[in-house]
């Protein structure tokens, strides 16, 4: 199956798709499956990202998650429809001071709008952190990421997952929008 590992479905509460159906749908359950990214996913992943993030990603950028030994991408799919509901991608980076130490770099996290606040992002982030820890040839001490300083919901999400704001990077996104660099310490013991 070309690099795709089948995982047991995860059950999450499904947030309402339409606000006026909120009460009925709160009790529904979203079944998802987490797969590793492979070549045949490229077009669907690129389309999903363009629909759910304000940035555009090239094929060469996305292909690094298949070809580079230090990179990983996971895809959350709806268990019955196979539709992509979330994506996370990252890599481990060796410390310049000590090659026995790595840092995880979370490069992409996107969840379909109708699945946000359902736990999909949390599961994807935790699974990627775990994969980065187990794949690295060195001890992964921290994990870091960049997030737009205007994205309050994402900043709060990452803070709830143990990330702290480290610094602000001026003009990080297309030279126009500042990014907050956030870091999670002691990743090796999580």
pTM: 0.80
Confirm whether 3 is domain-assigned.
no
Other Cβ atoms closer than 10 A to 172 = 17
Q: Residue 26 belongs to a domain with what CATH number?
A: 3.40.630.30
The number of distinct structural domains making up the chain is 1
| pLDDT given at position 18 | 33
Residue 124 is classified by DSSP as H
Over its length of 190 residues, how does the chain's per-residue pLDDT go in tens digits? 444 445 555 544 443 333 322 323 344 567 899 999 999 999 999 999 999 998 889 999 999 998 888 899 999 999 889 999 999 999 988 878 877 778 899 999 999 998 988 899 999 999 999 888 887 667 888 899 999 999 999 999 999 999 999 999 999 988 899 999 999 986 554 3
Confirm whether 90 is domain-assigned.
yes
Confirm whether 4 is domain-assigned.
no
Residues 54 and 65: their CA atoms lie apart, in Å, by 20
- For residue 158, the enclosing domain spans 10-189
Confirm whether 1 is domain-assigned.
no
Residues 25 and 9: their CA atoms lie apart, in Å, by 19
């Amino acid at each position: 199956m070309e690099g795709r590992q089948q995982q047991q479905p995860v059950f999450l509460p499904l947030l309402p798709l339409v606000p006026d159906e909120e009460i009925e749908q709160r009790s529904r359950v979203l079944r998802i499956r987490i797969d590793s990214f492979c070549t045949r996913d490229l077009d669907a992943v690129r389309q999903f990202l363009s629909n759910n993030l304000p940035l555009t990603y090239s094929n060469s950028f996305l292909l690094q998650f298949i070809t580079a030994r230090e990179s990983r991408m996971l895809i959350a799919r709806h268990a019955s429809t196979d539709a992509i509901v979330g994506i996370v991608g990252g890599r481990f980076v060796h410390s310049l001071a000590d090659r026995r130490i790595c840092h995880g770099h979370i490069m992409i996290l996107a969840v379909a709008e109708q699945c946000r606040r359902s736990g999909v992002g949390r599961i994807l982030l935790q699974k990627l952190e775990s994969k980065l820890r187990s794949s690295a040839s060195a001890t992964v001490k921290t994990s870091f990421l960049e997030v737009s300083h205007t994205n309050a919901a994402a900043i709060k999400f990452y803070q709830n997952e143990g990330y702290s704001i480290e610094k602000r990077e001026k003009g990080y996104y297309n030279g126009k929008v500042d990014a907050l660099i956030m870091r999670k310490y002691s990743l090796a013991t999580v």
